[in-house]
Amino acid sequence: MQARIYIFAVAVILLALASLPLTLQFPSSAQVSTFIGPRVWPLLLTVLLLLFGGALLVMTWRDGRRRAQQPLQDGNSQYAVSADDPQAGSSVSDTAEAPAPAWTLSLAATRHWWLMAATVGYTLLMSVIGFVAASAIFTLLCTLLLGARSWLVIGITVVVAVALMQGVFVTLLGIPLP
């Protein structure tokens, strides 16, 4: 399991490093007529990706070292079985022999892929039908994927999200949207 976390953390760091030169090519606020330039948001996300990926890598490495050193420091492992206690041996052997659950392609197992596909679709759809309509569809789809079932809650979420996006970008920041 720890190898997967290492791979994920390294992938996040590599994504951030690959995105950094492209992000720096965006114009700054001094080069455009808006209060906050187009570079700010992607640069912030890229730096956060780099920081969080690095933090995940360091924390995973630190936890792995703690687990490796813990039995040596304590003198006993968490899996040690006492010869005097037959109950302790049965619980350890039961967990070691239990079959792993079968992996299935359920919505819960593939939800992250659907969210990424929705994000790509949102990006493509934005130039075709416009920002507000694409944002409403994207918010509706993401709300459903994340498990909301009440149509009242879904409707309120879509309206509030679209109003916030429109209000923040157009009204507050003065950034024209497609």
Amino acid (1-letter code) at residue 107: L
Question: For residue range 7-28, what is the model confidence (pLDDT) as tens digits?
Answer: 999 999 999 999 999 999 988 8
Q: How far apart are alpha carbons 80 and 102 in whole angstroms?
A: 28
Q: How confident is the model at residue 69 (pLDDT cuts 50, 70, 90)?
A: confident
Q: Which residue has better confidence, 109 or 66?
A: 66
Q: Classify each residue of 127-140 as buried b or exposed e, where b means 16 or more C-beta atoms within 10 Å of its C-beta.
A: eeeebbebbbbbbb
Q: What is the mean pLDDT of residues 58-65?
A: 92
**CA gap 125, 5 in Å, rounded:** 33
Confidence band (pLDDT; 50, 70, 90) for 46? Answer: very high
What average pLDDT does this structure show over 126-143? 93
Lowest-confidence pick of 28-37, 71-80, 141-150: 71-80
Interacting residues of 153 by C-beta distance below 8 A, sequence separation 6+? 143
Torsion (CA) 78, 84, 90, 95 in degrees, nearest 10:
10
**Exposure of 167 by Cβ count < 10 A (0-12 exposed, 13-18 middle, 19+ buried)?**
exposed
Say which residue, 85 or 130, is predicted with more confidence.
130
| Six-digit token string for 11 | 């992938």
pLDDT at residue 125 in the model? 93
Q: What is the pLDDT of residue 96?
A: 54
Q: List the one residue out of 169, 122, 175 whose CA is nearest residue 145.
A: 122
* pLDDT tens profile 91-132: 444 455 556 555 566 777 888 889 999 999 999 999 899 989
Q: Which residue has the tokens 């994000």?
A: 119
